[in-house]
Structure 1
Amino acid sequence: MLKSLTLKWTVYLILLITNLTGFIIFLRGFFPSKVVLPGLNTFSQDDNKSPFLNQKNQPQFDKIILMVVDAMRSDFCFGENSKFKFLHQLINKGHAIPFTAFSNPPTVTLPRLKGITTGGTPSFLDAILNVADDYDDSQGLHAQDSWVNQYKNLNKTINFFGDDTWLKLFPNEFNEYEGTNSFFVSDFTEVDNNVTRHLDEQLNTKEWDGLILHYLGLDHIGHKGGPQSTYMIPKQIEMDNILKRLYNYIETNQNTLLILMGDHGMNEVGNHGGSSSGETSAALSFISPKFNKINQIAPLPENSDYSYYNSIFQIDLVPTLASLLNFPIPKNSLGIISREVIEIWPKDLQTKIILENCIQMMNLYETKYGTNGQIWRNWEQLKSGISSLDEYYNFLYEVQSEMANSATNYNYEDIFLGSGLILLSTIFTILIFNLYFFTLKNVNIQFIIFFQVFVVLYSIHFHGSSLIEEEHQIWYFATCLVLLYFGSTFFKAFSTKLNVVNFILLFTCIRLLRSWNNSGQKWFTQFNIASYLSNDNNELLWALIALTYTTITIAVFVQGSIIRTFSFTTFQNSFDFKDVGSLVSFMSIFVASSISFSFKVVQYYIDSNKPPTYFKWLLIWILDSYDVNINKSDIKFELQNVSIQLSKLGSFMLLTLLGARLFVGKIKGIKYGNITDFSNIITIFLIHQTRHENIPIFLVLLVAKFSISYLSYTKTASIDNYVISITFITLCLQNLTFFCMGNTNSLATVDLTNAYNGIETYDVFIVGILTFISNFSGPIFWSLSSLQLIFEPSFACFKGPSKNDLINFPPLKYSIQLLRLFIVLFFYAVSAINLVGSCINLRFHLFIWTVFSPKLLFFGSWILFVNILVDLIISSGLLTI
């Protein structure tokens, strides 16, 4: 039996590793590093003579100040609610030329900075490296043509202050610099003060030709509180005042060009990374006293698609800078010199300027496509330089569109090798799965067929972009269908009145989950529970938060074996205050939960919200304990320190309590309740890492788990039927809860608000783990609940321990765990082969980078972190204790 079980585990691990390896190889081929032309470009006309000089044979500008405000959406600058009053004055006077600049997805900082410096469209791989760039130094642009390198090639000096992503891209190009980390989103103030404090010295005493300033505070405010945060208006005013300081400088140094821009925008909840109009619509303004752009009016009425003034591609900045500062357009640029900016040259020079843009882009086109096709034939007619400006611009728009839509070079060897490994592991998984279940006598074959048909039908949805965008609809329908099927056929939900009540309660929980948040990528509404609680009734929100903490705290104490573990006397199935161990364990649970709750209160206040009146005393007491006067005008740093300390203390106490429970339980030989206690204590930490408006969801999840456990507690059916039903149901609930907590298959909904809890300085590993926990708290809950419902259902419905619990049969538990894991592997394997198949088939689809590619990354996270880390490693580790 041992050898047979060992062989089964070996086969499972081989299939799992093969599937994962294939998926990673596929990703490497699907997201290859972008192939670019090496070296610096030179002028193309008249023996390398510049066409960009004005009538006096001088460049339009000698110096540049680039002010980047991270996540500055176009309406923040140009809409009627904008507080950029000084910018509005410049626009009305004609000294600022405003644009809405389209930011190519993925709308995160690293690919956008590559775009606005090289003029190339981003590789989707950059979205991953945007997070991991602390451990990756291969992304530097020092060897790639960019306007920074071209400007340096003119013996110009450039100083930089701000987001340290620039320093990773250009490690040797700046004379003076100081970087600030872009990922510590809790900081709204210091991250910008660290930039502004250099201005006096730079503007008054320093000699430089280029000054780059990248401000991060507005982006951080968006991540924490959204575009409507009360911190947003003061931040806009602060940025506008800095713009005024810079403009005062260029008024006395009129050969200096000032550019104000955002690297991307943000969506309705303050995140970015996707392709919504809010995320792709960034503000851009060329500013100089030399400009006299008449008939511009600012601000403009609010616009739902964030389109203000003329729209250009953000990469158009690169050739436009080349023309204004007089250096060759970078080789790999797909940008087009702005039509509004080119008008500052006399008409007789404009054609030579745009022809230079055409030559540069067609050199790139020839390298990629050769000298065939209609576009090249059109170029043969235009290259003489006698056509109109309109003809050249129409031609450039056509070439730009063609090359931007086919900018990726897939590595087909890796793609097909990875797909082959996934297909191989999937075929063997299907064969072994069916071979096992169809040879058993006590298994309901209908369950097996139903599960396999469901998985196949589900995986087909990967071939439709709209189905991926709105996947939450699939899981809501699927969860209801699966619950109805198993409720009527296996759990006999309609056999007794109590079963009916619990079944109705379970469906009530599912309906509440569905109504809690916005889900999907196409429709956004304020008519949901989370929005109501956050915006209209924070009194009820905090009552529910308190109830959630209270409920799980009680569950920790009474459900599992905490009392039995720490009791110094004979266990009496009830709490005894005379027993020191019981009293200490109760106090430890209560204190750890209370500290976590206190942290959430402080965090809520830091995010510019007012706690309910009945908890204001708690906030005051907490702050008094840390000698913080709530009536002081500026206590944000003190509040941040309190928040960090509370989060650290709460997390430390929870982990210490968990470790002590498992260690002491091992010493005392307590073999049951481990899963329940681990699940409940981790649930408090999951709540700790969850957004305030989503915390009451855990109350709903606890009730749903209780209902399922009650329905399954009295079942005496075969173990295999029981395992497949519970695993199938919790698999559905994992995915449904993920989407109902506000997540989607878009990078824009990756929530960073709790990724820095208890952290003083940025650490990519810790932040990565906390980001995973924050965004996958629902799936983690159901993953652990699945283990509890299978092995310790009596504890889940407050009736444990029971001799019938499967945890009491050591010879079986590893076989049961393997069966559970094989069921989940079947789901992931069949889904994986369909997903990679759809990406291969639709690799030239319009939405390949905005829909299918993000889904690949999310699916990889499900496999690696949920399936392998939680379902396999943590769950199996619990069974061995």
Structure 2
Amino acid sequence: MSGVQCRKAMMTGSVSTFADVALNFGAPAVRGDSVLRVANARGRRTVMYGDDTWLRLFPGLWSEYDGTTSFYVTDYTEVDNNVTRHLDKVLTPDEKKKPTFDFLVLHYLGLDHIGHLEGARSPKIKPKLQEMDEIVKKIFTAMQTWDRNGVLIVCGDHGMRDAGGHGGATPSEVLVPLVLARSSDFECPHPLGPGPTVAQVDVAPSVAWLLGAPPPGDSGGRLLPALLPQDPRQHLYLLHVLSSHAVKQDIPTNTEFYKQFQRAEQQFAHYLATGQQSAAKIAKEFYEESLAKMSEYLTQTKTEFDLFAIGVAIVLLYAIAISLLLVTLYSLQPDTRRKSSITSRSHQRSSIGSMIAFLVIFCICSAILITSCFITETKSQLCNFESFWVLGLFAASSMFTITYFLIKTGIERIKDLSLLNELNAIDMLLIGATLFHCWSFFGTSFIEEEHMTWYFFWNTLMFFVLVRTVVILLMYLSKRLTGATEVQEKPELQQRMSAVGVGILPKWVLLIALHRYLRTMNQTGDRWLFLPDTADWLNAPENVFYLQAHLVVGTIGTLVICLRNLRFLNNVRHIQSMLTIAAVVCVLCYRIASNTLETPIDDIKTWDPVKIVDVFWAILIAQFLLEIVSYIGILKSCGLQPTRNNQSANKFEYSKPKAKSEDYFYDNLMEEPWNVDEVKLNLVRGLSHLMLNDLMLIVCLLMRPHNVVMVPSVFVTCVLTSQCMDHKLLDSKSGKKTEVADILSRTLVHMWIGILFFFYQGNSNSLSSVDLGSGYVGLREYCPVRVALRMGLHAYAGPAIAGAALFATIARHSETWDTYLQAIWRSTNILAAHRVYCVVVYCVIATIFRDHLFVWSVFSPKLLYDFVATIFSLQALATIAQLQFLAHTTNYLARMFTYKSRL
């Protein structure tokens, strides 16, 4: 659970919804009843020092407070000192020995931050716990000087798993100690050892009773057993009050626990009338049994689902998924361009007809939705016809209308899918496994252990590719030894087989070994999370050398890859190389300054890590701007000339008949019209590789030291797998077109690689695997947007790098601007269709299992992960669109600059 959920539960006595996790960064105020609200209504003085989330949850209910931001997790000293500095003042009673408060909340954050940064085995935990012990001692000692009996409750709002995160359902995350002590006249009613297990919702009625206030209105909790009075009459009366409060919250009267409550009332009345101890004992048992069942019932039924709105959303998602599928199939046809000669008049009639048809279908969809609201007599907010929800209703109608026309047009225009006949067995494996994977989520274990499914898929793919490659090589060798005419008539076949046998097969075997090692790096999931992994061994103090070796090897490997990718940039490769090396130096300096990497140069350890990261960002921006201005021609005045040893530098030039030598991009050997498409293609090719480089460098900066080696591993896997999936290399006969099969398999396999490294990194479908420390790299204070972006990029580093590698590969292999646009269109269609397909299937599963026992711990976190993945997918598609827009804009500016240079 998140901190917001837990604090709401402890103060309101009701279970929070899972949506509070998504709102954790900007916790909204609690509008319902709470302990603080009932205490404030009775004039109690409430004081809070510590986490400022309390102030946002319960604004205006504190008599005195001093909040500290809870999200800057790199600080575990000042956040606690800011609380401790108030203790002497607030614990000192007045001249009459009366405490200056009625309810004091002290929320220390240091231990939580250490866990997020360094895990449960951090050497900093023991000193921090000793510090907390001294604070508890100081509070309890001060309580004994008061004129009244004080109660001290020491507890945590959540637990922590070994990796340091929380938000899952493991015992170490959901079970935390709760210590209760009175300043005098108190004996613990429980024997030595672990006491009874209580729920967080039990804290609210307990605190309210101690403050002399009624339980919060929505409370479904019980009183903590240690606080129950020893006097039988007071004990039974308190149980009666709590049970009566629970009964008022729409408890059904035909249930057994309600009847048990009625029996308890009768026994209680009999005891009051006769004083028989047997009646008091029976009443106590009946009250406790009924109260336990009512609390369980209220906890399970607090969440109400708007099934009508959910149903409409699912149907709409299905319509979007079908329309995207048809658009994808349409794009996979041999020729997606439909030429037609339409006069302006007929075009006008077509536009008017389309508008009329759209309005007709829109009215039909709106009528169906409105009629459904009245027929079902639902209480859905979508059908309350208020101004805001009316807009939502009409927006849904508009989406239904758009998807209707997309589906109709797709069915009419999909005529020829013959290119899909070139798909081989491995392509079918990719498609089948991708489609099947989503349906496996009907089992909760397949959600918690999703990484096992992807490990199995990937191992199967690698094995199939290996076997196919070996079989084809053996068949070729046998034919060559027997002198088959097929081998003699095709000399190019020998060249291809040599490339496979010498260049690809050994690398593929090494790649299998690399993935076997990466799989052991981080234990993830739920079942085997307790087992030690390679990361645990590397992070042990005695193995610091090997940890730093992983960090250096991963960083240097990333540098080599980035320098290799600079071949596809424009003109000024030497400057880009120096900037790339400078960026990597910044990464290493940051590691040294943050005490992650040792160096003999002690002065670097004193450098400010925030300023180092600022320089790093400036370098990346400079690289991007340099690539843009090199196309426009602004660098001419600086004397920078094209670097001819670049792989494609001779293509980065504009040409036009009768152009003069003063043209910045002039070449005497080129006398063709403006090569606009060629230059745009090379600009997109350069920017795609620059984006890939920058992304890898940023991820190197954000990654945990032991995970940095995964950055070059993602790229190597993408490159080698793309080579092995090339249909023309092994299983294509001459004359056949394999563009569609290549782009389909290449897109799916890059998507697989991204998801695979998502789990290699240690992520899972549990919120406890989210690394909060990555969100504060290079930050001096909390900023929600920048923290969220860093955390998101760190969590989805594998899919991000694999996606960038895919788009760079498409740009590198495209021969013309048109083929690039067509390949990008096909690839983005496949990715969008898959993402919507996953979302719609899982939404159906989550809706079916909405009352499942693990709905909050298993199904809801996965739904949140799917939502975040969808947001990042939209951002990635928008980035591709921005690259194409930038290519057009830069091309226009370059032509203007070239034209003016001739005047």
Task: Give, in whole Å, the separation in 1 of the partners of 2:817 and 2:587.
Answer: 36
Q: CA deviation at 1:780?
A: 0.6
Larger radius of gyration: 2
Q: CA deviation at 1:147?
A: 1.4
User: Does structure 1 conserve the Cα–Cα contact (< 8 Å) formed by 2:714 and 2:753?
Assistant: no
User: In structure 1, what is the equivalent of residue 376 of structure 2?
Assistant: none
2:264 paired with 1:382: yes
Task: Give, in whole Å, the separation in 1 of the partners of 2:432 and 2:718.
Answer: 26
User: In structure 2, what is the equivalent of residue 30 of structure 1?
Assistant: none
User: Does structure 2 conserve the Cα–Cα contact (< 8 Å) formed by 1:726 and 1:789?
Assistant: no
Question: CA distance change for structure 1 residues 291 and 869 in 2, over 3 Å: closer, same or farther?
Answer: farther
User: Does structure 1 conserve the Cα–Cα contact (< 8 Å) formed by 2:774 and 2:790?
Assistant: yes
After TM superposition, list the pairs within 5 Å mapping 1:24-423 onto structure 2.
Answer: 107-133=1-27, 139-141=28-30, 143-204=31-92, 207-253=100-146, 254-293=148-187, 308-342=194-228, 344-366=229-251, 369=252, 371-384=253-266, 385-386=268-269, 387-423=282-318
**Runs of 5+ consecutive residues of structure 1 not aligned to the other structure:** 1-106, 134-138, 301-307, 568-581, 606-610, 627-641, 793-804
Q: 1:465 aligns with which of 444, 453, 458?
A: 444
User: In structure 1, what is the equivalent of residue 605 of structure 2?
Assistant: 623
Task: Give, in whole Å, the separation in 1 of the partners of 2:421 and 2:186.
Answer: 80
Give the counterpart letter for 1:324 in structure 2. L
User: Does structure 2 conserve the Cα–Cα contact (< 8 Å) formed by 1:491 and 1:712?
Assistant: no
Q: 2:624 aligns with which of 653, 658, 679?
A: 658
- In structure 2, the residue corresponding to 1:326 is in which secondary structure? coil
Task: Give, in whole Å, the separation in 2 of the partners of 1:731 and 1:779.
Answer: 7
Residues 3-61 of structure 1: CA deviation (Å, up to 9, x unaligned): xxxxxxxxxxxxxxxxxxxxxxxxxxxxxxxxxxxxxxxxxxxxxxxxxxxxxxxxxxx
Q: What is the aligned-residue identity percentage?
A: 24
Task: Give, in whole Å, the separation in 1 of the partners of 2:571 and 2:138.
Answer: 66
Residues 404-432 of structure 1: CA deviation (Å, up to 9, x unaligned): 12221001122011101111112223344
Give the counterpart letter for 2:29 in structure 1. G
User: In structure 2, what is the equivalent of residue 53 of structure 1?
Assistant: none
Q: CA deviation at 1:786?
A: 1.2
Structure with the largest fraction of helix: 2
Residues 129-150 of structure 1: CA deviation (Å, up to 9, x unaligned): 11233xxxxx323x42211111
User: In structure 2, what is the equivalent of residue 444 of structure 1?
Assistant: 421
Q: CA deviation at 1:208?
A: 2.5
Task: Give, in whole Å, the separation in 2 of the partners of 1:233 and 1:547.
Answer: 33
User: In structure 2, what is the equivalent of residue 102 of structure 1?
Assistant: none
User: Does structure 1 conserve the Cα–Cα contact (< 8 Å) formed by 2:5 and 2:17?
Assistant: yes
Task: Give, in whole Å, the separation in 2 of the partners of 1:597 and 1:661.
Answer: 25
Q: 1:680 aligns with which of 693, 709, 726?
A: 693
Question: CA distance change for structure 1 residues 144 and 564 in 2, over 3 Å: closer, same or farther?
Answer: closer
- In structure 1, the residue corresponding to 2:539 is in which secondary structure? helix
TM-score, normalising length: structure 1:
0.76
Question: CA distance change for structure 1 residues 294 and 173 in 2, over 3 Å: closer, same or farther?
Answer: closer
User: Does structure 2 conserve the Cα–Cα contact (< 8 Å) formed by 1:784 and 1:875?
Assistant: no
User: In structure 2, what is the equivalent of residue 782 of structure 1?
Assistant: 802
Residues 245-280 of structure 1: CA deviation (Å, up to 9, x unaligned): 211211011332222111111111111112111111
User: In structure 2, what is the equivalent of residue 59 of structure 1?
Assistant: none
Q: CA deviation at 1:221?
A: 0.6
2:495 paired with 1:497: no
2:789 paired with 1:772: no
Q: 1:594 aligns with which of 585, 595, 599?
A: 585
Q: CA deviation at 1:294?
A: 5.2
User: Does structure 2 conserve the Cα–Cα contact (< 8 Å) formed by 1:737 and 1:779?
Assistant: yes
Task: Give, in whole Å, the separation in 2 of the partners of 1:436 and 1:789.
Answer: 19
Question: CA distance change for structure 1 residues 488 and 442 in 2, over 3 Å: closer, same or farther?
Answer: farther
Q: 1:707 aligns with which of 712, 717, 720?
A: 720
Q: CA deviation at 1:482?
A: 3.5
Residues 609-665 of structure 1: CA deviation (Å, up to 9, x unaligned): xx4xxx3314x23035x4xxxxxxxxxxxxxxx222222222332333233234434
Question: CA distance change for structure 1 residues 604 and 753 in 2, over 3 Å: closer, same or farther?
Answer: farther
Task: Give, in whole Å, the separation in 1 of the partners of 2:522 and 2:35.
Answer: 44
Give the counterpart letter for 1:750 in structure 2. V
Q: CA deviation at 1:548?
A: 1.9
Q: CA deviation at 1:825?
A: 2.2
Residues 87-112 of structure 1: CA deviation (Å, up to 9, x unaligned): xxxxxxxxxxxxxxxxxxxx111111
User: Does structure 1 conserve the Cα–Cα contact (< 8 Å) formed by 2:699 and 2:794?
Assistant: yes
User: In structure 1, what is the equivalent of residue 345 of structure 2?
Assistant: none
Give the counterpart letter for 1:534 in structure 2. N
User: Does structure 2 conserve the Cα–Cα contact (< 8 Å) formed by 1:455 and 1:830?
Assistant: no
Task: Give, in whole Å, the separation in 2 of the partners of 1:546 and 1:356.
Answer: 65
**Runs of 5+ consecutive residues of structure 2 not aligned to the other structure:** 95-99, 270-281, 334-415, 474-496, 634-651, 653-678, 888-903
- In structure 1, the residue corresponding to 2:223 is in which secondary structure? coil
Q: CA deviation at 1:732?
A: 0.7
Residues 423-451 of structure 1: CA deviation (Å, up to 9, x unaligned): 11122233444455472333335457555
Task: Give, in whole Å, the separation in 1 of the partners of 2:129 and 2:191.
Answer: 19
User: In structure 1, what is the equivalent of residue 832 of structure 2?
Assistant: 825
- In structure 2, the residue corresponding to 1:285 is in which secondary structure? strand
Q: CA RMSD in A?
A: 2.5
Task: Give, in whole Å, the separation in 2 of the partners of 1:449 and 1:563.
Answer: 36
Task: Give, in whole Å, the separation in 1 of the partners of 2:875 and 2:466.
Answer: 30
User: In structure 2, what is the equivalent of residue 512 of structure 1?
Assistant: 517
User: In structure 2, what is the equivalent of residue 646 of structure 1?
Assistant: 612
Question: CA distance change for structure 1 residues 377 and 666 in 2, over 3 Å: closer, same or farther?
Answer: farther
Question: CA distance change for structure 1 residues 530 and 875 in 2, over 3 Å: closer, same or farther?
Answer: farther
User: Does structure 1 conserve the Cα–Cα contact (< 8 Å) formed by 2:38 and 2:216?
Assistant: yes
Q: CA deviation at 1:489?
A: 6.7
User: Does structure 1 conserve the Cα–Cα contact (< 8 Å) formed by 2:50 and 2:82?
Assistant: yes
Task: Give, in whole Å, the separation in 1 of the partners of 2:838 and 2:511.
Answer: 27
Residues 303-353 of structure 1: CA deviation (Å, up to 9, x unaligned): xxxxx32211121112222333321111211111122221x4312321111
Q: CA deviation at 1:752?
A: 0.8
